[in-house]
Amino acid sequence: MTDLDLVVRASRVIAGPGEVGRCIGVKDGSIVAIEPLTSDLSAPVVLELSDQEVLLPGVVDSHVHVNDPGRAQWEGFASATRAAAAGGVTTIVDMPLNNIPPTCDVPALELKRKTAADQVHVDVGFWGGAIPGNLPELRGLHDAGVLGFKCFLLHSGVDEFPRLDPDELEAAMREISTFDGLLIVHAEDAHTIEHAPTAHGATYSDFLRSRPRGAENLAVAQVIELARWTGCRVHILHVSSSDVLAMLASARREGVRITAETCPHYLTFAAEEIPDGATAYKCCPPIREAANRELLWEGLRDGVIDLIVSDHSPSTPDLKAFETGDFGVAWGGISSLQLGLSAVWTEARRRGFTLIDVARWMCHAPAAQAGLRRKGRIDLGYDADFCVFAPDDEFVVDATTLHHRNAVTPYDGRPLAGVVRSTWLRGEEIDVHAAPQGRLLTRGGA
Give the number of residues in contact with Zn ion, rule: CB under 5 A: 1
Lay out the site mask for Zn ion across 304-323 (x = CB under 5 A, - = otherwise): -------x------------
| Region of 148 on the Ramachandran plot (φ > 0 left; ψ -120 to 50 alpha; else beta) | left
Ramachandran angles phi, psi of 23, nearest 5°: -115, 120
Beta carbon nearer to Zn ion, 123 or 311: 311
Beta carbon nearer to Zn ion, 105 or 311: 311
Smallest separation (angstroms) from Zn ion to the CB of 17: 31
Does the protein bind Zn ion through residue 75 (CB under 5 A)?
Answer: no
Beta carbon nearer to Zn ion, 5 or 311: 311
Residue 94, beta-bridge partner list: 64, 126
Check: CB of residue 233 under 8 Å from CB of residue 181.
yes
Beta carbon nearer to Zn ion, 189 or 311: 311
Q: How far apart are CA 109 and CA 8, in angstroms?
A: 37
Q: Is 132 helix (H, G, I), strand (E, B) or coil?
A: coil
Q: Is 34 helix (H, G, I), strand (E, B) or coil?
A: strand
Q: Is 329 helix (H, G, I), strand (E, B) or coil?
A: coil
Smallest separation (angstroms) from Zn ion to the CB of 153: 14
Smallest separation (angstroms) from Zn ion to the CB of 264: 13
Binding to Zn ion (CB under 5 A) within 159-198 occurs at none
Beta carbon nearer to Zn ion, 365 or 430: 365
Beta carbon nearer to Zn ion, 26 or 164: 164
Smallest separation (angstroms) from Zn ion to the CB of 320: 16
Q: Which residue in the shown chain puts its C-beta closest to Zn ion?
A: 311
Beta carbon nearer to Zn ion, 55 or 131: 131
H or E element at residue 123: strand 123-126
Cα–Cα nearest to 351, from 298, 389, 310: 298
Residue 416, beta-bridge partner list: 395
Q: How far apart are CA 72 and CA 228, in angstroms?
A: 39
Beta carbon nearer to Zn ion, 216 or 311: 311
H or E element at residue 89: strand 89-94
Smallest separation (angstroms) from Zn ion to the CB of 115: 19
Piece of the chain touching Zn ion by CB under 5 A; list 17-25, 82-90, 303-311, 417-425: 303-311
Check: CB of residue 197 under 8 Å from CB of residue 205.
no
CA distances (Å), 190 to each of 156, 212, 219, 297, in order? 10, 11, 9, 27
Smallest separation (angstroms) from Zn ion to the CB of 311: 4
Q: Compute, in degrees rounded to 10, the torsion defined by CA atoms 293, 296, 301, 306.
A: -140
What is the end-to-end Cα distance of the chain in Å, rounded?
25
Smallest separation (angstroms) from Zn ion to the CB of 333: 7
Smallest separation (angstroms) from Zn ion to the CB of 102: 13
Beta carbon nearer to Zn ion, 137 or 188: 188
Beta carbon nearer to Zn ion, 261 or 311: 311
Smallest separation (angstroms) from Zn ion to the CB of 405: 17
Smallest separation (angstroms) from Zn ion to the CB of 200: 23
CA distances (Å), 300 to each of 160, 250, 434, in order? 34, 15, 37
Cα–Cα nearest to 259, from 337, 313, 187, 353: 187
Q: How far apart are CA 220 and CA 343, in angstroms?
A: 27
Residue 345 Cα to chain centre, angstroms? 15
Q: How many CB atoms lie within 10 A of CB 194?
A: 11
Binding site residues, Zn ion, CB under 5 A:
311
